[in-house]
Amino acid sequence: MVLHWSYYFYNNHNNSLLEKTLNHFTLLVKLLPQINIMKKTYNSSSLNSNLLMAAAILCLTIGAGCFFILFKYSEQMPELANESKKSLFLFLIGGIFFFVLSRKILPKESFELSETDITVINRKTKERKQILIRDIKNEVSFYSGKMSLLHLGFQKNDDDEWHIIDPQVKNYMELIQNFKNLYQKQRTPILIQQQDNGNDIIFKTSSDNNPTMNQMVHDPLSRLSKYNKNILVSKTKVMINNKDFFFTDMQTASITHDGNIVAFNKSGDEMFVIFYSQITSPDVFLELLKNGLQIPTA
């Protein structure tokens, strides 16, 4: 009898321990993909810079050959030496130009994104700057270049350096989308709390942020600068270009497939449009606007 109960206890104890171990292992297997997804490094591509550097080396090499011909055969073949002299200056200037350009477009930063923060890695010094996503005050999306490709800039505080995610970053669209999702999720509750406490929230547009970013905005989009002044959101209204739009006058607010934010009054008429390329964090702004629509005017 004692042996029977001892065996029963031992067997059940082992089964219970095995079951717990399997449960823990299953949970770990489920969490591992999430850990891998939510912490990823996005390196900047230096392909264009390397190609320009190769062109610079080629030009300087040919220039060196021209100098050799000029130095050795200047008296024997004056015509060839004369042509070499012209080519020497041409390839020398070309080599210097390509070298300077390759250094200029060399990516400065890479990024590492996790669920709670984004780390900016200086490509030259390898210095790492970790910033909590919820603490980032300014974030703006804009289009730039002849192809009007999407860029994203962010800074922790108003006086801090801007960090820009551009097409030179490998898988930059994935990085931008993941960053925006995390930013909307973590930053919106903080701003809604400030809004509920009666604090005004100011959004800066891309043209207000800094001259460098303003120059990067593609020219054809300049027509979208109708609402390029700061946008202020209070508990009862949103102010655009010094004009008040009260939440009680609005019926709905929606975001279009282009990312533009449109607000309609109770009659269904359009009240205002805020363009994606001109508003800092349109997703967060839309959440604040929706929250404001539910607040009665005091």
Structure tokens at 67: 């100098």
Q: With both helix axes pointing from N to C terminus, report the angle between 172-196 and 282-293 in degrees, rounded to the nearest 10.
A: 30
Mean pLDDT of 159-185: 90
CA triple 111-152-125, angle to 5 deg: 30
Question: What's residue 245's pLDDT?
Answer: 94
Per-residue pLDDT, 282: 78
pLDDT of residue 2: 38
Query: Would you state the pLDDT for residue 6?
Result: 42
Euclidean distance between CA atoms 72 and 77, whole angstroms: 9
Do domains 109-183 and 201-293 share one topology? The answer is yes
132 pLDDT band, cuts 50/70/90, is very high
Q: How far apart are CA 232 and CA 242, in angstroms?
A: 9
CATH hierarchy code of domain 201-293: 2.30.29
User: Model confidence at 206, in pLDDT bands (50, 70, 90)?
Assistant: low
pLDDT at 67 over 60: yes
Is the pLDDT assigned to residue 225 strictly greater than 90?
A: no
Q: Judge whether 195 and 233 are in contact, CB under 8 Å.
A: yes
Pick the more confident residue, 141 or 57. 57
| Cβ(164)–Cβ(42) below 8 Å | no
Average pLDDT of the residues of the chain: 76
262: nearest Cα among 246, 276, 248: 276
Annotated domain spans of the chain: 47-104, 109-183, 201-293
pLDDT digits (tens, 9 = 90+) for 259-290: 788 999 999 999 988 877 667 777 888 888 88
253: β partners: 263
d(CA 97, CA 90): 11
| DSSP H helical ranges for the chain | 2-38, 47-73, 78-104, 172-196, 206-209, 211-216, 282-293
**Residue 102, pLDDT score:** 77
Question: Residue 231 pLDDT > 90, yes or no?
Answer: no
Band of residue 175 on the pLDDT scale cut at 50, 70, 90:
very high
Helix (H) or strand (E) holding 155: strand 149-155
Chain-centre distance for alpha carbon 188: 18
Q: Which of 191-195, 217-221, 279-283 has the highest mean pLDDT?
A: 191-195
Is a pLDDT exceeding 50 seen at residue 33? no
pLDDT over 60 at 19, yes or no: no
**C-alpha–C-alpha distance, residues 219 and 209, integer Å:** 17
pLDDT at 117: 94
- Quote the pLDDT of residue 295: 65
Q: Three-class SS of residue 9?
A: helix
Confidence of residue 55 (pLDDT cuts 50, 70, 90): confident
Please tell me the class of the 109-183 domain.
mainly beta
Q: Does 3 have pLDDT greater than 50?
A: no
Categorize the per-residue pLDDT at 185 as very low, low, confident or very high, splitting at 50, 70 and 90: very high
Note the helical H segments in 154-281. Answer: 172-196, 206-209, 211-216
